[in-house]
Structure 1
Amino acid sequence: MTTATLPMSLPLNPVAARLGYLGLVPFVLGMLLVWLLLGYNDEAHTYATLGLSIYAGSVVSFLGGIHWGLAFRQTVPSPQPFIWGVVPSVVAAIATLMPAYAGLVIHGVMLIVCYLVDRRSYPALGASAWLNLRFRLSMIAALCCFIAAAGV
């Protein structure tokens, strides 16, 4: 993408940042519940792991969808953000259907992969200001998925 086709830079929105941090609550709570319910209540433990997996899958899907929104802003459209934007949703759907010990690991890996892709693509799409927040949110969410997977 040449300089003439770069979209205007998108500043970090403080409301979105607060909501992003608030979005970590289900990750932390889910991870804690997985460990607190381990060996205590099998049915509740199953629901906690399933709930965390479903939430993680929806977040991973959302991260792919962001690429569609940013791609719509391009003055010279590239198919790459649209193609990549579908990948997280497909992987998240598969991971959600897997046993939680494996699916949560895949969700955690995808949160990291999505960040790495964003780190390469956000500057060209005018969203560099969001990368520090994305790093923090993604690493905490991924860590919660990995720790919860160890408790399944």
Structure 2
Amino acid sequence: MIAKDLGVSVRSVERWRRAWRAGGMEGLRSAGPANSPTITDAQFAVLEEELGRGPAAHGFEDERWTLVRVQAVIRRRLRVSLSVATVRRLLKRHGWSWQAPARRALERDEHAVELWKKEVWPRVKGSRRPLGPGSSSRTRPASR
């Protein structure tokens, strides 16, 4: 009856009753979220050192850090299992941000890019038919 009125499981009510019998009102005080894994400042210093070595040092084929890769390093090196969302919050809290390339790719052909912008893009961009009285569109412009 109590569990139904409170919208909780019977097991929760039984656990609360045991805690109350063992410690009174103080025994019912929240101990905080259960199983909230986190890493200490000392562990984060180790993580920064590991990240500084680069992804290749950890067996990744390219020099790109992703949240999943950082998560794997944390799991292997610190033996702590964190969700990808927690890894993102952890890195953000310590001033890390997403990676952007520091320079353009060596293979980039600036002439080809400019040519594409001038010749190909206008054709692609302007390929839609203008809407007008003869349009097959379901919505027609209002007549004036």
Specify if TM > 0.5.
no
Bigger Rg, structure 1 or 2: 2
> Structure 1 length normalisation: TM-score?
0.27
TM-score by length of 2: 0.28
